[in-house]
């Protein structure tokens, strides 16, 4: 990777629409950051193809390049749901050699060819609100079989992996099929939530990225927005920040990830084992396959 740190922001915008003022507020907020990002991951823009062209001009992401995944038409109505985008600044744009939509309105990626001849794939995801619908998304990313040296998956995952990451109603908990697909995905690409890694310094104590703003029994908070990074990026380290929410712009708190451009201390393998991998047959099979790949072939 380059010696220059790479900063990525994940932002659920809760619709861009024709609101040019909202786009201006987003530009102003990005410019106010101490470390302006080179890459912006947008979720839930609610735009069709024509709308994405207007938003590219309205956001004007530092004269860079925009990769849009248009939203999904809702039946016979004029409404558009979901939608993702990856915006890259002018200096980083020439490094993007591949871009593709994996799931309409939900998942897309770009692959950068870095100065050290390594490849970095960045996947932007806006997951469904139901566990049944999320499982195919994780399987689709697994099926893409990325072979890049480094992988980052960011966005709004709309689920909770474990207790203690939020207080929400039922469907954001992972059911059996989603859990199996999720474990397969993270195992295949060697992914870990950057928020949990010691090598990524937490710049804020704010852990939750979503807050419905209600009080008492109606309150719901969660950490459904995340960055997952592959093992090699753990050796580089960086910082991660849950920025304050600005309700005039979005109901999620933006998540800011910075990856150092230099190596930090050598990677130390984790001293724990995720026992949940043994609870599902598919997870156990994936674990056995990964273990078999590490064994020397008989002579």
Does residue 19 have a pLDDT over 90? no
Candidates 107, 104, 112; CA nearest to 8 is 112
Whole-angstrom distance, CA of residue 263 vs CA of residue 278: 33
Quick one: pLDDT at residue 133? 95
Which structure tokens are listed for 36? Answer: 């302006």
20-34, 93-107, 246-260, 263-277 — which is least confidently predicted? Answer: 263-277
Q: What is the pLDDT of residues 55-65, one digit of tens each?
A: 888 888 888 99
Candidates 125, 283, 257, 126; CA nearest to 201 is 257
Quick one: pLDDT at residue 163? 45
The C-alpha angle with vertex 168 and arms to 283 and 74, in degrees rounded to 5, equals: 85
Quick one: pLDDT at residue 266? 42
Q: What is the pLDDT of residues 170-215, one digit of tens each?
A: 457 788 999 999 999 999 999 999 999 999 999 988 878 877 666 6
Question: CATH assignment of 6-294, given 3.40.50.280, 3.60.10.10, 1.10.10.10, 3.30.460.10?
Answer: 3.60.10.10
Average pLDDT, the chain: 85
Which carries the bigger pLDDT value, residue 40 or residue 295?
40
Q: Where are the domains of the chain?
A: 6-294
Residue 153: phi and psi, rounded to 5, are -120, 125
Whole-angstrom distance, CA of residue 82 vs CA of residue 185: 22
pLDDT band at 283 (very low <50, low <70, confident <90, very high): low
Quick one: pLDDT at residue 54? 84
Does residue 285 have a pLDDT over 90? no
Whole-angstrom distance, CA of residue 186 vs CA of residue 147: 14
3-state helix, strand, coil in the chain (%, to 5): 30, 30, 40
Quick one: pLDDT at residue 259? 97
Cβ-contact 227, 10 below 8 angstroms: yes
Residue 136: phi and psi, rounded to 5, are -65, -30
Query: What's the burial of 250, exposed, middle or buried (CB within 10 Å: 0-12/13-18/19+)?
Result: buried
Quick one: pLDDT at residue 2? 67
């Amino acid at each position: 990777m380059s010696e220059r740190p790479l900063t990525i922001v994940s932002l659920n915008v809760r619709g861009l629409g024709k609101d040019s003022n909202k786009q201006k507020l987003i530009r102003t907020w990005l410019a106010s950051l101490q470390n302006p990002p080179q890459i912006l991951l947008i979720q839930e823009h609610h735009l069709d193809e024509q709308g994405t062209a207007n938003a590219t001009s309205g956001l004007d992401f530092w004269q860079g390049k925009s990769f849009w995944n248009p939203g999904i038409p809702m039946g016979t109505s004029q409404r558009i749901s979901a939608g993702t985008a990856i915006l890259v600044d002018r200096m980083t744009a020439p490094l993007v050699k591949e871009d593709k939509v994996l799931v309409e309105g939900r998942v897309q990626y770009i692959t950068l060819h870095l100065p050290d001849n390594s490849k970095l794939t960045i996947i932007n995801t806006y997951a469904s609100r139901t566990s049944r619908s999320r499982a195919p998304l994780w399987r689709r990313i697994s099926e893409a079989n990325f072979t890049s040296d480094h992988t980052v998956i960011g966005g709004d995952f709309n689920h909770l992996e474990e207790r203690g990451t939020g207080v929400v109603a039922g469907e954001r908990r992972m059911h059996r099929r989603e859990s199996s697909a999720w474990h397969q995905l993270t195992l295949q690409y060697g992914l870990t939530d950057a928020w949990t890694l010691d090598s990524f310094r937490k710049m804020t104590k704010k852990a939750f990225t979503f807050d419905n703003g209600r009080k008492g029994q109606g309150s719901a908070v969660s950490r459904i927005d995340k960055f997952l990074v592959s093992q090699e990026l753990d050796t580089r380290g960086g910082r991660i920040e849950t920025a304050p929410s600005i309700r005039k712009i979005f109901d999620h708190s933006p998540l800011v990830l910075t990856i150092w451009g230099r190596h930090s201390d050598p990677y130390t393998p984790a001293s724990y084992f995720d026992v949940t991998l043994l609870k599902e047959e598919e997870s156990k099979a994936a674990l056995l396959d990964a273990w078999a790949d590490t064994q020397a072939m008989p002579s």
